[in-house]
Amino acid sequence: MKRGSVNVDIASGGDVGGTIMTPPRRRRRVPGALAWAAVAPFAIWAVARVAGLERGSLPTQIMTATPYAAVGSLVPVLVGALARNRAATAVALVTTAALSLSVLPRAVGSAEAGPGAPMRVLTLNMLYGRAEPAAVMDLLKRLKPDVLSAQELTPEMVEALDAAGIDELLPYRVLQDEPDARGSGLYGRYPMTPLENLFRPVGHNMPAAVITLPGAKPVEIIDVHPYAPLGDLVYDWATAIDAFPAPSGDRIRIFAGDFNASLDHAVMRRFLDRGYADAADRVGQGLVPTWPAGRSIPPVITIDHVVVDRRVAVNQVSVHTVPGTDHRAVFADLRLPG
């Protein structure tokens, strides 16, 4: 006789035996609503990044975290799969693909060394002139740049570098130093001539100069430092980058400095699309962060760049920490076209 899930054998003398059947456990499924909640922020981020839709100060600042969003976008893929929500999973996969294609090319590249005159460029934001002069000089001696592009260059820092012997390494200069963040300056190994009226600087001082290196035609070098996109300054920041001159058919232009922008900003990509390239991006170093350095947290975003005319070959790019400043120095070893 069967009663429920217990088999009872009466004919065998009343002995009771059998198997108790345990009903199968139901697997808890992740709610579909949770899958959509997980994917929605990343999908919105991907659309904004690909279409260049960031507007205002906060979205502009958040956009610099796109490399981290690309990694984080894998989470909604997993959540959608656990929820068995095909639509949410599909959207999550497209989102991850879009963000990855926006970011990963910066980690892929190779040296482009070839014929052409070498030009070595170093850029450093000195944080109100607080960078340690000895450390700056050590970097100059090791890397041997032909040009140093300095931002937040104060008169006190100019004096400190003079006392440390910068003239022995970079005897030529075009300086616009000031006692606050506005100061900037170019130091050169070879003669430099100030370049006036190349563009209308918006933000901090952005001196430009023409430098002539051995075996090369004259090159224009621009020290870049727009305002950071904070509050209403975001509009001046965008205006400053849009104001940079387009490439010249008869002269190479190189921009070096603290752009306060990453390659995830639409205004920066728009500038590059005019005929320029980020040197670090070209050699697979485009994801190396440059700010903030020297703090309890490591650098997390890449806002310092050497930008070159696309006719310039990039041999090497390296990033260096300098005590006293919250920006890392960016060094680019270039090859100029004949």
Domains of the chain are: 32-106 (no CATH), 112-336 (3.60.10.10)
Whether pTM exceeds 0.85: yes
Exposure string (b/e) for 197-226, b if CB count within 10 Å is 16 or more? ebeebbbbbbbbbbbebeebeebbbbbbbb
pLDDT by residue for the chain (338 residues), tens digit each?
444 444 444 444 455 555 666 555 555 667 879 999 999 999 999 999 999 999 999 999 999 999 999 999 999 999 999 999 999 999 999 999 999 999 999 999 988 877 899 999 999 999 999 999 999 999 999 999 999 999 999 999 999 999 999 999 999 999 999 999 999 999 999 999 999 999 999 999 999 999 999 999 999 999 999 999 999 999 999 999 999 999 998 999 999 999 999 999 999 999 999 999 999 999 999 999 999 998 888 999 999 999 999 999 999 999 999 999 999 999 999 999 97
Give the residue from 144, 141, 37, 140 showing the smallest Cα distance to 91.
37
Distances (CA, A) of 294 to 1, 170, 218: 80, 26, 37
